[in-house]
Structure 1
């Protein structure tokens, strides 16, 4: 009998990479937070913010830690995105380097630009980039970013993630501008958007009016989570 050759198992390190989207409704911009790498590999390339997972640390805590080191924000949405772990995605896997596979468990986050404060003391120059002007990034981060962008657009159509990011009280126009900044102005006209959402019954009119600019006063609404609960498991598209 021929001896069974031993199977060589990969030696892994696990990292977390964050796709942090910021919605600037004032200038109709969807932005992504990038940092500049200072060390090998891909020194001087822009990349998504990331970190290696520490001993005893959960993946989610690593994602929140990375985010909290770069921005201060009260209202945000964070969700695990996908695991990227193909061979040769990281030069450090090569035998002449470290010979270790690097898995990236990616997350995507959503914040409002006007609320998110960059922590500028960081040496890796955290900067907001418009989604249309993303440079060539380190590793496979362009692929991770594209995956996150597609997930974000999909989630907006059936999930109330936007209400984790907006202030507790908002106008319907505030809500519409948030969606159009991400999905584009052709996704729906305002009248259809307004009518469809109000018919679903999970937006509560507070009765309070606000005036913005020269227009007539607009009603302030809030998201009513108990009213949405019966809908969350249905195949629902609410925009």
Structure 2
């Protein structure tokens, strides 16, 4: 009919399914509370492709292994930390994201399922055995990264910022006892200097009711002593599934 266009699939167009190898890449953040720096864990690649480049800790999934098991396996080879919690982040599977893919469109494709975590720096012991290099890098001093790991890292950074706004993830990296100033500084380190003024931040967090004042005060510098708080998981439990805004 005039004015209408239709496209018929060509019988000569092959409909071959993609042949995937699946890997996991882990975005592991920590916070250097002494120097107010957000850090990410990187390892140096010791084989091609991207030999000598820094990358996120990752591995290809083995036969009979779940994605989560693969993610925990590669981390257990790189870092020792108690109660490490991994959360699935996103799947990256664009064509040609890995140089090992064949130049034609029918070769093996490499798909990456990424995971995300935030760990306490003081409790994290890096394992240097069997790697060319492993280090915590400040987010504002990143080297060139292998593959599309810069994209994966930035996606993880956005997830971290979002989680600070609606979940108690900050308490995963603070010591058991902390001042409200310590908590505010952690948020400032991750979100930037202008995310909120201290008085509004303090008022909002205390109204939520899950910060317990220990009655202990600590002196730091010339200011008046500050109260030490702890995160009360029992008080937070009824709020866990409710929409909250921490900041």
Separation in 2, partners of 1:19, 1:180: 20
Is the 2:23–2:112 Cα contact (8 Å) retained in structure 1?
A: yes
Look up the match of 2:96: 88
TM-superposed deviation, 1:3: 7.2
Q: 1:30 aligns with which of 38, 42, 63?
A: 38
Is the 1:209–1:217 Cα contact (8 Å) retained in structure 2?
A: yes
Query: What secondary structure does 2:38 align onto?
Result: strand
Separation in 2, partners of 1:111, 1:145: 16
Look up the match of 1:44: 52
TM-superposed deviation, 1:53: 1.5
Q: 2:22 aligns with which of 14, 18, 27?
A: 14
Look up the match of 1:144: 152
Q: Is 2:115 aligned against 1:107? A: yes
Look up the match of 1:128: 136
Query: What secondary structure does 2:137 align onto?
Result: strand
Count of aligned pairs between the two proteins: 237
Q: 2:166 aligns with which of 158, 163, 166?
A: 158
TM-superposed deviation, 1:219: 2.4
Separation in 2, partners of 1:163, 1:209: 19
Look up the match of 2:124: 116
Q: Structure 1: state its 5+ residue gaps.
A: none
* Compared CA separation, residues 203 and 34, structure 1 to 2 (3 A): same
Q: 2:181 aligns with which of 162, 170, 173?
A: 173
Query: What RMSD over aligned residues (CA atoms) do the two structures have, in Å?
Result: 2.3
TM-superposed deviation, 1:146: 0.8
Is the 2:120–2:172 Cα contact (8 Å) retained in structure 1?
A: no
Query: What secondary structure does 1:92 align onto?
Result: coil
The one-character-per-residue Cα deviations of 1:87-141 (angstroms, maximum 9, x if unpaired) are: 1111111158x93211100011212333322223342300222111212211111
TM-score if structure 2 supplies the norm length? 0.86
